[in-house]
Chains A and B, each alone.
Chain A
């Protein structure tokens, strides 16, 4: 199963009149089990696009199908929302309950699951994000640190057992340790539970290290949709639309400039060091 996007076009309206389209004729497929990184300049349409994945914004032109459910059909939205979990920017601002466990339980309860199952899911979701239920269940979300609050908010989404998890800049504002915790959580979700991850991020290093596919949006259109290796090897093209490349790619580009023919498809530390270990073969 997969998410199939077909000729999706979308324009916001102002005073009843449509503005220039924010998304222009997007067609591509997100494979189940992949880790999709979405990159693009501010205003390129990234956030607008992901809001189409669970029907928060309507499909007016073109279609989005999640596991065969067509989102342009209103009746299908409910089934899709059970499949697609959404984590917005600064999700901790949406915590509202008196205790962490109550907050995490909110989603599953809305799904009308029985109380034993809700409890079970809350414990699992909290454990998954590294908030020990014995310590954190009865605490107020407002007594937690920034990183803990962020993880509590993500636990609330995970407790609904989404098959596809969409995150809009989930590491924004966190310190380096907080960032690492979120990234290893996403990696664990993907490899252990087979959850498909769709993540918007400004950090090219994070995308290079974790994504299996990268979508590059430019002014609402797809500029590239490829592996991180192929996308980041086009450093000049990315720079033209105001994007940078991972640190490792930068080093490779600088080395080529100085006459050392290291492949510019190398974008992670492991691949870089392997090139040295394996005798610096050209391509």
Chain B
């Protein structure tokens, strides 16, 4: 298995090597050692590749991922898997702010906790957090699923569009236009699949579903006086 040592190799070279291998559809396993919290590790991979990062990463790890599988055996800094298109990103530890922000697709699994703004403006990504998430998570989330086995912080799903939010624990508060919704059989099915793919030991029936009340979609003429 090719190993890239970040204590000896420049970040640009590490990423160029991974990007070339991904583009070549190599689908081979790579190992990155000594990440030491570096920024932008394994970003922009555009093809199937299996990357294991032995340690913790800084800002924007696995950003813009497409088709690759990236496993961080540590914690991740802000913006992990930002704007992911497809593929899988797994973080063994915690993730900092705005994990999975603006993601269009793929699966992001955080085995620890995620902090504030998890899944902000998500556009189709699936995010499964084994722990808890911080405030303002799924703000303006448009599409995809956010699954939280622990608790959610303040203002969950503020100004939400069509993303589905599943929380097993408590929700400190719901954001504007976010409401609890009925859990129907199709939601149980979606959730069971996500939990299985994320290796999460939880039953879909233990979760509550939250989504948009859709009252912000159209301008309410009663508010005209405010302008």
Q: Determine if chain A interacts with chain B.
A: no
Interface set of B (CB-CB < 8 Å, partner A): none
Q: Which residues of A contact B (CB under 8 A)?
A: none
